[in-house]
């Protein structure tokens, strides 16, 4: 066999191998200036690139605008559109001065069509003024721990220098927002109809997020963005086999492909493992604590197969005191449970004592259904 034929065969074999296994390698070649892949339940970072670099973020800003509108509990209220809202530059849902529209419809227009006019109308109604709403945005960012973020408007246009965030901070925001069922519903909607006050037909808005509208089967939501200075920005969420993921990219010319590759990398490499089940902690020998202590929530964490052997559960309890003559004398919280992965703390939660003052979580029937659902979704139970 000639040297040329050998090289050709090797090249064909390598191409075949990369075609079969694109997921793990592609995650290493993200073209974004800033990027992050986060597991939604735990917040574990599965991939990052310049994740804490302050960058302009364009319309992914509207995730904050949307969640504040939803949390205002004013979605059923009618919003009177101001002239200032109609004059907003860039993408629009073509609001008209003086028209009245439900706040809920504005949020759909904001998230699906990225309406900058919608963003201003929301801000003025929820915050009392655009400036008042920006204050609320920054206050919420501070509450969520978005340490490298400053908002100057509700839409992300390049009209202020002090409007920026990071891939990490936007992932924190998205994790929080996805905890709200209304936000999840809106973010994952493909098409929405809203009444049109001046026409016989409804306004029909189709989501600009191609991942949601058919490009990616596991997509559950997200937000697109673009300005000349920020370039392409994108937040996407996805779910497969019980694992929920968040991807944020900033200044990414190949964002659709990068997002699919990153989500696929997570799904191929990690499983959401139930490390500890909520309820009574078993195998406690101390007579004071035996069958009396519990944790209030499941401990779930994304893990690679090889990481299972690196887990350690450390339980620390208060030393029982002589004056504890009755269960009611014992404190509500009597210790802490620390979950370690390769000697690094990944979770810590309080341990409660069943003294009659603390609600327990022991509902065997409900728990059985939850464990069955979790197993069917593809999750693993560790202990």
Active site residue 62: yes
Active site residue 236: no
The one catalytic residue in 114, 118, 187, 239 is 114
The one catalytic residue in 59, 82, 236, 239 is 59
The one catalytic residue in 49, 62, 140, 292 is 62
Can you give the chain as a three-state secondary structure string?
A: CCHHHHHHHHHHHHHHHHHHCHHHHHHHHCCCCEEEEEECCCCCEEEEECCCCCECCHHHHHHHHHHHHHHCCCCCCEEECCHHHHCCCCCCCCCCCCCEEEHHHHHHHHHHHCCHHHHHHHHHHHHCCHHHHHHHHHHHHHHHCCCCCECCCCCCCCCCCCCEECHHHHHHHHHHHCCCHHHHHHHCCCEEEECCCCCCCCEEEECCCCHHHHHCCCEEEEEEEEECCCEEEEEEEEEECCEEEEEEEECCCCHHHHHHHHHHHHHHHCEEEEEECCEECCCCCCCCCCCCEEECCCEEEEECHHHHHHEEEEEEECCCCCCCCCHHHCCCEEEEEEEEECCEEEEEEEEEECCCCCCCCCCHHHHHHHHHHHHHCCCEECC
Active site residue 287: no
Catalytic residues: 59, 62, 114
């Amino acid at each position: 066999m000639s040297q040329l034929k050998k090289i050709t065969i090797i090249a064909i074999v390598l191409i075949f191998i990369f075609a079969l296994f694109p997921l793990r390698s592609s995650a290493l070649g993200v073209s974004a200036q800033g990027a992050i892949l986060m597991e939604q339940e735990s917040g574990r970072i599965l991939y990052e690139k310049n994740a804490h670099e302050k960058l302009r973020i364009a319309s992914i800003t509207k995730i904050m605008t949307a969640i504040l509108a939803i949390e205002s509990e004013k979605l059923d209220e009618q919003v009177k559109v101001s002239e200032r809202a109609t004059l907003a530059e860039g993408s629009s849902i073509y609001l008209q001065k003086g028209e009245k529209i439900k706040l809920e419809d504005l949020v759909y227009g904001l998230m699906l069509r990225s309406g900058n006019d919608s963003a201003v109308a929301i801000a003025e109604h929820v915050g009392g003024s655009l400036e008042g709403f920006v204050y609320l945005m920054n206050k919420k960012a501070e509450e969520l721990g978005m340490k490298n973020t400053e908002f100057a408007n509700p839409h992300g246009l390049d009209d202020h220098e002090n409007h920026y965030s990071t891939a990490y901070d936007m992932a924190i925001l998205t994790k929080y927002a996805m905890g709200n069922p209304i936000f999840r519903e809106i973010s994952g909607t493909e098409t929405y109809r809203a009444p049109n006050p001046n026409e016989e037909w409804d306004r029909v808005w189709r989501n600009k997020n191609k991942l949601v509208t058919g490009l990616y089967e596991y997509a559950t939501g997200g937000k697109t963005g673009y300005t000349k200075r920020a370039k392409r920005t994108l937040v996407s969420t996805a779910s497969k086999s019980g694992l929920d993921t968040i991807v944020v990219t900033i200044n990414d010319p190949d964002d659709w492909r990068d997002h699919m590759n990153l989500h696929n990398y997570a799904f191929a490499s990690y499983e959401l493992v139930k490390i500890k089940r909520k309820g009574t902690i078993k195998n406690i020998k101390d007579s004071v604590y035996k069958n009396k202590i519990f944790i209030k929530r499941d401990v779930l964490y994304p893990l690679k197969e090889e990481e299972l052997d690196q887990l350690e559960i450390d339980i620390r309890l208060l030393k029982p005191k002589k004056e504890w003559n009755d269960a009611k004398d014992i404190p509500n919280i009597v210790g802490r449970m620390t979950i370690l992965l390769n000697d690094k703390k990944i979770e810590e939660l309080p341990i409660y004592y069943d003294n009659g003052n603390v609600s327990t979580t022991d509902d065997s029937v409900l728990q059985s259904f939850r464990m069955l659902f979790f197993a069917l979704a593809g999750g693993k139970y560790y202990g």
